[in-house]
Structure 1
Amino acid sequence: MLDHLFLSVADMPAAIAFYERALAPLGIAHVHDYKGSDGPPGHPDLKGFGSANRIYFWLREGTADARAVHIGFVADSAAAVDAFYAAARRAGGADNGAPGARLHYDPRYYAANIFDLDGYSIEVVYKSWQHRQPSSVQNVIPRPQLS
């Protein structure tokens, strides 16, 4: 499980504004600012985003390299994927794949992809089989047979 990620951005105020709007439909908010001077020498200032009493997505000012990372956020429904995509586009994100099933992965893999203001590839995905459902309709993924 991922605990945290630092993402270098070229324009901190613009990046904060973008992610505040784009991640709001997922319940992820800008919740904490960390002063690098409070840490060990050379620690960067950070802007933290998170949910459910966890901060796991951090922005730091620096040289952005769009090829360096692809980030996938979890959505709790296809509607949340759609809402993220619309919010991210309104906030200035560029299309990198409209909301829909990603059949090359699984027919139940529903996602949307955008490029953020620095060109990073951001995906929001809803995988119905990974969410708790009433036991009467729960999807069961069979375990692979070992040879």
Structure 2
Amino acid sequence: MIDHLSIGVSDLAKSKKFYEAALKPLGYQVKFEMDHGVCFGSDDGDLWIIKSEPSKIHLAFRAEERAIVDQFYQAAMAADGVDNGAPGLRPQYHENYYGAFVFDPDGYNVEAVCRKES
């Protein structure tokens, strides 16, 4: 299951205005903001817009346990993935955010994340 999706945007303020209006009828609202991006959330998942070159994709897959995040990372690395962040807590995103990041063969940032406590 996909936890969230990030897309690159060239003008963060302009894109925020657009997505805030366009996604409101779908139940999304601004959930979290950082200098480099905005997260729109709903009961179905999150969409991040990130200040970067358009067309960069980040896929995050939900894991039910932290051990599954570890297994994802090990399997991805064994399949010629490139490290982009070993498994670990990332409390800057959420107090229980445990994730691992790898680049796939095309350079896409792929993640597994568990938000459950331990």
- Number of aligned residues: 67
Runs of 4+ in 1 over 6 A off after TM superposition: none
Q: Is 2:63 aligned against 1:75? A: yes
Q: Which has the higher contact order (CA 8 A, sep 6+)?
A: 2
Aligned-residue sequence identity (percent) comes to 48
**Gap runs ≥5 in structure 2:** 6-53
Provide TM-score, normalisation by structure 1: 0.42
Partner of 1:48: none
State the 1:101 CA deviation: 0.3
Q: What is the distance in 1 between the residues matched to 2:93 and 2:62? A: 15
State the 1:105 CA deviation: 1.0
Calculate the aligned-residue CA RMSD, in Å: 2.4
State the 1:106 CA deviation: 1.9
Q: Is 2:80 aligned against 1:89? A: no
CA deviations on 1:42-100 (whole Å, 9 max, x unpaired) are xxxxxxxxxxxxxxxxxxxxxxxx95210000111000000000000000000000000
Q: What is the distance in 2 between the residues matched to 1:107 and 1:99? A: 15
Counting strand residues as a fraction of each chain, which structure ranks higher?
2
Q: What is the distance in 2 between the residues matched to 1:125 and 1:101? A: 10
SS in 2 for 1:123: strand
The letter for the 2-side match of 1:87 is A
SS in 2 for 1:89: helix
Q: What is the distance in 2 between the residues matched to 1:75 and 1:97? A: 16
CA deviations on 1:95-114 (whole Å, 9 max, x unpaired) are 00000001111220000000
Larger Rg: 1
CA deviations on 1:110-139 (whole Å, 9 max, x unpaired) are 00000000000001000117xxxxxxxxxx
Partner of 2:42: none
